[in-house]
């Protein structure tokens, strides 16, 4: 049974223990990166493929008849044509929960970066503005506390719950959004539109699907408080990026922190990469990638493969 990892290098694997993963299949081949033109050749004769972000399309599936298991080396699996895999009798699994502590930490790094303006103050110290200040402190940017503020959580899986727990430790109030457009609201949830309107900070933790694409557009941004901030560590396509850029320029909302873009890397540019946009922090899809999280991911992938080979697949998405 041959297994192939198509983009091992995306995990920054140096120093991580992958012995359990290598032992999960009799033959395991690792490629740091794979161009689209290399995928089919590299999967020739493979029964198992592990892909973090390399696209496993309908065409790839059709050209690789030996495939029986596709493992998304992440929680999101929108890079895999799940319908085509299902039609071909191929099991698709993902990994879950491995990055919850790391993403939660990153969410609050973005929130605190916006609320404390720590990046702006750091840059001003580097350029000598504090040294030139008349007073002992240098207060050019407003600082705001989290205590008593309302956090709106959109997407209430493991990540949403973890973020909720930390928010409450900061003394925040938390609203959990129900699905957009619903009026029959579940216990413990709040109408989506009310979360948009009432929250001081909104954080996104839902997968990218047909239903969540452009979940946040100019309409939702206009309905937010002018003092509110938006955090996206989920997927870039959930937010209309041109609308968000314009909302920040116009002052419709106070700030945003994003770790994901609709195209990564943004080789053709992106509306959110304009350095003139105020109060925007962009990080390069690093929220998931602590060393500890990557180790948990590899260990879980090994379990997924071993479970599949033993007839008890786990984390099956199709």
* pLDDT at residue 230, as a whole number: 98
* pLDDT at residue 76, as a whole number: 87
For residues 107-136, give the mean pLDDT: 96
On whether both 118 and 82 belong to a single domain, the answer is no
The tens digit of pLDDT for each residue in 219-246 reads 999 999 999 999 999 999 999 999 999 9
* pLDDT at residue 38, as a whole number: 98
Domain span at 156: 100-282
In a domain, 318, yes or no: no
On whether both 151 and 19 belong to a single domain, the answer is no
Catalytic residue, chosen from 27, 211, 226, 264, is 264
In a domain, 46, yes or no: yes
DSSP secondary structure code for residue 51 in this structure: E
* pLDDT at residue 13, as a whole number: 86
Say yes or no to pLDDT of 268 above 90: no
Tell me how many domains the chain contains.
Answer: 2
On whether both 17 and 152 belong to a single domain, the answer is no
On whether both 141 and 152 belong to a single domain, the answer is yes
Catalytic residue, chosen from 235, 241, 296, 309, is 235
On whether both 113 and 81 belong to a single domain, the answer is no
Grouping H, G, I as helix, E, B as strand and the rest as coil, residue 261 is coil
For residues 162-183, give the mean pLDDT: 97
In a domain, 170, yes or no: yes
Is-catalytic flag, 235?
Answer: yes
Catalytic residue, chosen from 42, 117, 205, 285, is 285
Domain with 198 in it: what CATH number? Answer: 3.40.50.720
Spatial neighbors of 149 by CB under 8 A, at least 6 apart, are 172, 173, 200, 201
On whether both 154 and 300 belong to a single domain, the answer is no
On whether both 298 and 218 belong to a single domain, the answer is no
Q: Half-sphere exposure of 250 toward its Cβ, with a 13 Å CA cutoff? A: 11
pTM here is 0.92
- Smallest Cα–Cα separation from 17: which of 303, 299, 223, 317? 299
Say yes or no to pLDDT of 87 above 90: yes
Spatial neighbors of 305 by CB under 8 A, at least 6 apart, are 3, 21, 24, 25, 48, 69, 71
DSSP secondary structure code for residue 155 in this structure: -
Say yes or no to pLDDT of 289 above 90: yes
On whether both 120 and 79 belong to a single domain, the answer is no
Is-catalytic flag, 285?
Answer: yes
Report the C-alpha gap between 173 and 169 in whole angstroms.
Answer: 10
In a domain, 13, yes or no: yes
pLDDT bracket for residue 135 (50, 70, 90): very high
Say yes or no to pLDDT of 140 above 90: yes
């Amino acid at each position: 049974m041959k297994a192939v990892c198509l983009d091992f290098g995306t995990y920054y694997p140096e120093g991580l223990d992958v012995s359990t993963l290598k032992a999960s299949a009799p033959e395991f081949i690792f490629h740091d990166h794979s161009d689209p033109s290399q995928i089919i050749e590299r999967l020739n004769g493979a029964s198992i493929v592990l892909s973090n972000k390399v696209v496993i399309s309908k065409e790839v599936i059709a050209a690789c008849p030996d495939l029986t298991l596709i493992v998304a080396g992440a929680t999101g699996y929108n890079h895999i044509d799940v319908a085509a895999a299902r039609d071909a009798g191929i099991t698709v699994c993902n990994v879950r929960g491995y990055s919850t502590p790391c993403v939660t930490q990153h969410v609050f790094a973005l929130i605190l970066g916006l609320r404390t303006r720590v990046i702006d103050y750091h840059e001003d110290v580097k350029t000598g503005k504090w040294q030139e200040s008349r007073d002992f402190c240098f207060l050019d940017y407003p600082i705001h506390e989290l205590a008593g503020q309302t956090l709106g959580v959109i997407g209430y899986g493991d990540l949403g719950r973890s973020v909720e727990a930390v928010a409450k430790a900061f003394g925040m109030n938390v609203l959990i959004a129900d699905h957009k457009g619903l009026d029959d609201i579940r216990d413990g949830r709040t109408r989506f539109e009310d979360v948009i309107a009432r929250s001081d900070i909104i954080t996104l933790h839902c997968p990218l699907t047909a239903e969540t694409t452009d979940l946040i557009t100019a309409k939702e941004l206009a309905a937010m408080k002018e003092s509110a901030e938006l955090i996206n560590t989920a997927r870039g396509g959930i937010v209309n990026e041109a609308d968000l850029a314009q909302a920040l320029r116009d002052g419709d909302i106070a700030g945003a922190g994003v770790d994901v873009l609709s195209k990564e890397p943004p080789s053709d540019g992106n509306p959110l990469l304009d350095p003139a946009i105020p109060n925007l922090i962009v990080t390069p899809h690093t929220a998931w990638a602590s060393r500890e999280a990557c180790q948990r991911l590899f260990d879980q992938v090994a379990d997924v493969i071993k479970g599949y080979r033993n007839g008890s697949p786990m984390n099956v998405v199709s």
